[in-house]
Structure 1
Amino acid sequence: MRRLDRQRGSARSQWLVFVAVGVVSAGAALWLNRPPAAGDASAPQAANAASSVQTALASSKGMATGASMADALPASLDGSSPPHLPTDGHGHLARTRAVRDFFDYFLTTQNEISAATLDALVRRQIAAQLDGTPAADEAVTVWQRYNAYLTALAQVPQNSATQSQNQSQSGAKPDLDALQLSLDQRDALGARLMGEWNEPFFGAESQQQHTDLARLRIASDGSLSSAQKAARLAALDAALPPETRAAHERARQQQAALDAIGHAQKQGASLDTMRAQITQTLGPEAAQRVVQMQQAEDAWQARYADYSSQRAQIDKQDLPPQQRDAQITQLRRQFFTNPSDAMRAASLDRGSGSAN
C-alpha cells in the first residue's frame, strides 16, 4: 500500500508540473530511457519486413468486416474525447503530427480489443469527423499505412540496439554504434512505408533521438576535456531549430518544477510553501495553477477516502460477489458523477485489492 501511495504521489507531482508549464514536451525524457514501440531492425530484416507491406495494406482494408460496430469507446477511453483530425481548409487532411496523435489515441486500446474492432472503431471516428470530405478517405489511407509500418516494425526481431537500451536503463554504458544503426534503420523503414507522412509522423521525434545520441557521444568521449565537452554540447544546442530549443527549455523547466514539487511534498510542505517554491522556479501564474490543482487533488482524495469508508462497510456484509459488485458500482457513481473520476476511483480500488 505504501508503494501504491508513492506511485500516486509521483504521478500527481508530474501532472502538477505539466499543468504549471502548460505543455508536455516531447523531449522531456531521453528516448533511450523509454521502452521501444517494437523491436529494432537490421537492414536485411527491415527490407524483408517491408516486402510484406502490400499484404498488410490489403488485409487492413478488410479488417472492419465482422467487427463490432458498437458506438461506445473501449473502457480505457471512457470519459475522454478523441483528438481532432486537422484539415487544410480545402477539405484535405493536413499533414501534421496531430494525425498521428489521433491514431495513437486509439492504439492505446490495442491490448483490450481485437485488431478488427480497433480498425472499425478508427474508421467510425474518422467518418464522424470528416465524412463527406476528401480528408476522410485520406485519413483511412494514412491509417492503413501506419498499421503497415507498425506491423513491419513488430515483425523485426530485437537486436543489439535494444540490448543497449536495456544497458543504459541499468546504468551500464550503451553501445552507441548499435543505437545509431537502430535509428538509421527505423528512419529508413518510416520513409519506405509512410512516404510523405514520415516527416509529420516521426520527423521531430527522430531529430530529437539523433540529437540525444550526439549528446551521448560527446559526453562519453574520454578524449575531450570538460570544457571541450561543454563547448561541443553548446554548439550542438545552438544548431537546433528555435522550436526545438524552446522544447528543451520547457523540459528543463518541467524537471526543475518536478524536483521542487517533489521535494516540497516529501517535506510535507504547506500550499503556501509550494506556491513560493514554484513562483521562484516558474513564476506566479504557474504557481497559482499548481496550488489550484493541489487543492482540487486534496478535495478529490478526501472524497475518495469517504467513498472508501462506505465501500468497506459493503465489503463487511459478506454479500454474494455479483450483489457486492453492484452495490460498490452504485456507490462509486454516487460519489463520482464524472466518468473519468469514477474510472480513477475504480483504478485505485484495483490497486488496493478492493475492486469489483
Structure 2
Amino acid sequence: MAHEVRGVVARAKGAPVSVETILVPDPGPGEALVQVQACGVCHTDLHYREGGINDDFPFLLGHEAAGVVEAVGAGVTGVQPGDFVILNWRAVCGQCRACLRGRPWYCFATFNATQKMTLADGTALSPALGIGAFAEKTLVAAGQCTKVPPVRAAAVGLLGCGVMAGLGAAMNTGGVSRGDSVAVIGCGGVGDAAIAGSRLAGASKIIAVDVDDRKLQWAAQFGATDTVNAKQTDPVEAIRELTGGFGADVVIDAVGRPETWKQAFYARDLAGTVVLVGVPTPEMTLELPLLDVFGRGGSLKSSWYGDCLPSRDFPMLVDLYQQGRLDLDAFVSETIPLDDVEKSFERMHAGDVLRSVVVF
C-alpha cells in the first residue's frame, strides 16, 4: 500500500520548489518507513535545486532529519516500529574493502532504499542524499536509521548532515585534542559545529574567521576564543599572531574555495593539519608550490561527513546534548512549516540563519 503524503519537490534547475503529493511505498526487504518529525534546511538541498549535484530531476528534497520508525521490511533487525531515529546518508555495507579493513566511515558501497517514492502520476523521485525527508513520511534503507533516545527532533536531526560534518571535521578528521590551537574559516552551521567540536575536544585556543561580524558573534557563542574579520585583516597573519607567530595546530576550511584552502594551508603551524570540510564546486582548481607542500609537512585532509560512523557517533553526541555539554538547540535559528522551505532558502542565502528546521 502506498502512503500519500506532502513533500517538497524540485522539478527543474533553478526553479522554485513546490509542495506536492508524494506516494511512499511500504518498506520492502532491508527498508524502513519513517514518520518524519523534523528536517533541517541544508545548503545541499539548495545545491540539488540548482543542479549542482546532478540533473536527476525531480528531486524530493530534505535529508537532515529525525523521526519515528513506522514500519520495517523483511530482514530488518537493527530498528523496529516505534524507535526514534536520526537519518543518515551513509548506510555502510560492511563488505567493501574499507569496511573490511575496519574503516567503515570510508565505506565505498553505501546504500539507499531500493523502491522509489513517486509523484501522484507515477513519476519517480530522486531523494536528496538518498533520504528525501521534506515529507511527512519517507522510505530509506534501514541502515540509514540510527536509534537514539527520544529527544527534540529539530535539534538532533541536524546531526544527520551539517552539524555532524563540522563536529566530525574537528573531532574525527582533524584529531583536535586537549591544548591544541584551532582556526575555523567560515562560520556558518558547519563551521560553528567545528568550533563546538574543538571546544568539546579541549582545544585551548579556537580562532573563528569570517567576513560577517554577525557570524563571528555566533561563533563566539559556540566556543571561539578569538574572532577575525577577513575583510578587515589578513586572516593568515591574524591566526599566526594569535598563536605566538607559529600558526594553528589544526585549521578547518568550512568554506571550500581555493582561496580559503590556501589561507588554511599557510595559517597552520609546521607539521599542522588542514581539514577541508566545505564542499567545492566542480570547476574549482588549486595551485601551490610543491616545495611548500613538502617543506611544511603535516597532514592535508578532506572530511567526508565528518568521517563519522553514525552508529557510534550519533548516540554519543545525543548523550552530550542531554548532559548539556553540546548545545544543539543553538543551531536552530527558526522552525518553519513545510510550505516555507523556498522562503528559507532565501534567508539561508542571505546568511540570516544558521538553520531553518521544518517541523511536522
Q: Same fold (TM over 0.5)?
A: no
Task: Normalising by structure 1, report the TM-score.
Answer: 0.22
Task: Normalising by structure 2, report the TM-score.
Answer: 0.22
Larger radius of gyration: 1
| Between structures 1 and 2, the one with greater helix share | 1
